[in-house]
């Protein structure tokens, strides 16, 4: 199955994941340092040394992004908001919050903690780099020449300090859901007293910022010169890419807010369907396949053995098999053992079930409590419910 994030470990009770896009940035950062920055300042370093130092610098960059995300999460935890996972991706990280912060104040401190951490790391690195002994020829003023006389450690710290300050400033861009956008939202929330309305305004602003990035990027690519940003096709395309990315996340977080508010207060037991389709453990996979064709909606089959549910099979597990294979195997051969099956409890929020279903691209989840399997919750039922609700609350957004 397609896997977009890898589990790497646990810190302060928070699971850490690496998103695949992060490998791209790791590769690009290492490449940029090993082929660009380091050789241009220190052509005398060996290739091996240059590459190793570039790799170490890229790892330190990763650690500082992690510190940024942990700062958000630790403030959240202190305020009683559970953070179950952090995913590091292309431009930084995302901490999965169980729910929105309870007050504008909390949101402000949570959002500000990340960029503040990056800026502090940045300044500390630069200060250390400045204090490390270097053998400068007398009277050198040109910063580029000074860089050439820095030791490998001082140069790495100088680079790390600069990128951290860049990360701190980039995250302060007021494009929700970036930290800067969250800070803006906390103010709008305090002003309007309504988090949903504040989110709608903040994500409009986010989309505006995103479109401006793309427009400036386009102008840079065709030769216009901007202060600080400069000009050129490469920088222009890079800015267009960042703008596009900001646009996508602003729109997605807007949609999440709408869905959250439409589903708020709704529990799994309100939407679930009692009953489910179960099959014997010795039923052939071919029979299962025909059963699916007969009951079009059934995507998930529970497998029974001696009256007890022992596992489940999803339609997607068998659709790729050919007829011969399906006739050869029985349900027990290919089922997923019940203890590993993704599930929800009847008292869970429907939003939680919706997230699980859409993140894992599933159609149905079993609803389970101490009594056993009570029924199924279906993505199509939640979507249907959302459409009905949307009609009745048109005024929203």
Residues that bind Zn ion (CB under 5 A): 114, 171, 179
Residue among 72 and 207 whose Cβ is closer to Zn ion = 72
Cα distance between residue 164 and residue 169, in whole Å: 9
Taking CB positions, which residue lies at the least distance from Zn ion? 114
H helix intervals, the chain: 20-32, 38-41, 47-78, 104-131, 143-148, 152-171, 179-192, 195-221, 233-263, 268-271, 285-294, 315-318, 323-328, 331-334, 350-359, 379-392
CB of 113 to Zn ion, least distance (A): 8
Residue among 171 and 286 whose Cβ is closer to Zn ion = 171
* Tokens 């799994």, located at residue: 268
29, 22 contact by CB (below 8 A): no
Cα distance between residue 174 and residue 240, in whole Å: 17
Residue among 62 and 315 whose Cβ is closer to Zn ion = 62
Tell the burial category of 340 from Cβ atoms under 10 Å away from its Cβ (0-12, 13-18, 19+). exposed
- Hey, what are 59's tokens? 């790892």
CB of 119 to Zn ion, least distance (A): 12
Report the DSSP pairing between strands 92-97 and 83-89. Answer: antiparallel
Residue among 181 and 311 whose Cβ is closer to Zn ion = 181
CA distances from 268 to 212, 241, 259, 301, 389 (A): 41, 39, 15, 19, 16
CB of 89 to Zn ion, least distance (A): 12
Residues β-bridged to residue 337: 311
CB of 95 to Zn ion, least distance (A): 8
Residue among 38 and 176 whose Cβ is closer to Zn ion = 176
Residue among 179 and 269 whose Cβ is closer to Zn ion = 179
CB of 174 to Zn ion, least distance (A): 13
Residue among 107 and 179 whose Cβ is closer to Zn ion = 179
- Encode 156-184: b = buried (16+ Cβ within 10 Å), e = exposed: bbbbbbebbbebbebbbbbbbbbbbbbbb
CB of 187 to Zn ion, least distance (A): 17
Residue among 114 and 311 whose Cβ is closer to Zn ion = 114
CB of 132 to Zn ion, least distance (A): 29
CB of 157 to Zn ion, least distance (A): 22
Closest CA to 158 of 172, 148, 168: 148
What is the distance between the terminal CA atoms of the chain, rounded to a whole angstrom? 36
């Amino acid at each position: 199955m397609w896997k977009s994030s890898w589990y790497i470990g646990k810190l302060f009770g928070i699971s850490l994941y690496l998103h695949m896009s992060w490998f791209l940035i790791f590769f690009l950062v290492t490449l940029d340092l090993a082929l660009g920055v380091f050789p241009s300042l220190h052509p005398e370093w060996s290739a091996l040394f240059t590459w190793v130092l570039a790799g170490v610098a890229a790892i330190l960059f990763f650690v500082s992004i992690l510190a940024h995300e942990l700062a958000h999460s630790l403030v959240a935890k202190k305020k009683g908001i559970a953070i179950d996972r952090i995913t590091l991706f292309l431009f930084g990280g995302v901490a999965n919050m169980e729910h929105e912060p309870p007050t504008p104040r909390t949101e402000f401190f949570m959002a500000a903690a990340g960029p503040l951490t990056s800026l502090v790391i940045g300044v500390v690195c630069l200060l250390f780099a400045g204090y490390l002994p270097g053998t400068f020829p007398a009277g050198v003023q040109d910063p580029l020449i000074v860089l050439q006389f820095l030791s490998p450690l001082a140069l790495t710290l100088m680079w790390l300090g600069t990128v951290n300050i860049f990360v701190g400033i980039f995250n302060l861009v007021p494009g929700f859901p970036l930290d800067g956008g969250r800070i803006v939202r906390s103010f709008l929330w305090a002003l309007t007293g309504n988090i949903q309305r504040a989110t709608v305004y903040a994500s409009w602003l986010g989309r505006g910022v995103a479109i401006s990035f793309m427009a400036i990027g386009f102008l840079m690519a065709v030769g216009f010169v901007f202060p600080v940003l400069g000009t050129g096709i490469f920088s222009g395309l890079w800015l267009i890419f960042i703008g596009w990315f900001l646009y996508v996340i602003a729109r997605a977080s807007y949609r999440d807010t709408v869905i959250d508010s439409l589903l708020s207060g709704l529990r799994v037991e309100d939407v679930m369907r009692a009953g489910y389709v179960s099959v014997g453990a010795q039923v052939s996979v071919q029979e299962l396949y025909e059963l699916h064709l007969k009951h079009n909606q059934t995507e998930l089959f529970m497998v029974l053995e001696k009256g007890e549910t022992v596992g489940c099979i999803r339609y997607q597990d068998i659709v790729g098999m050919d007829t011969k294979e399906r006739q050869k195997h029985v349900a027990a051969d290919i089922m997923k053992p019940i203890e590993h099956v993704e599930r929800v409890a009847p008292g869970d929020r429907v939003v939680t079930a919706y997230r699980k279903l859409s993140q894992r691209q599933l159609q149905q989840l079993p609803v389970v409590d101490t009594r056993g399997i009570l029924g199924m919750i279906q993505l199509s039922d939640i979507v249907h419910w959302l459409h009905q609700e949307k009609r009745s609350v048109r005024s929203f957004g």
